[in-house]
Amino acid sequence: MFLDRPLLGVGFGQLLEAKKAYLADRSTDLNLEATRDYIHHNGFLSILTETGLIGVAIYLALLGVGSERY
């Protein structure tokens, strides 16, 4: 998903809807159907997929600014 839309991502909060098209892909030998009901487990990769490189850069900048205050 990230490789298809690296800069802007699929849209914040749209991962569950956007993954359906990728799970329907039958051109691979991977058993993607088994992961249909799973929710993401890696927060940074989820943010990267949803918001792209631009969103992750902003998120990391905010984390950096917030950590300097404390």
Q: What is the pLDDT of residues 11-59, one digit of tens each?
A: 998 988 888 888 888 888 888 878 778 877 788 898 999 999 999 999 9
Taking residue 59's Cβ as centre, other Cβ atoms within 10 Å add up to 15
Q: Which domain does 19 fall in, by range?
A: 15-69
Residue 5 located in a structural domain: no
Residue 10 located in a structural domain: no
Q: Do residues 13 and 19 lie in contact, with contact meaning Cβ atoms separated by under 8 Å?
A: no
Residue 58 located in a structural domain: yes
pTM above the 0.85 mark?
Answer: no
Residue 4 located in a structural domain: no
Residue 66: alpha-carbon gap to chain centroid: 23
Residue 46 located in a structural domain: yes
Report residue 55 as tokens: 């969103």
Give residue 70's pLDDT: 61
Which is nearest to 15 in space by CA: 45, 55, 53, 60? 45
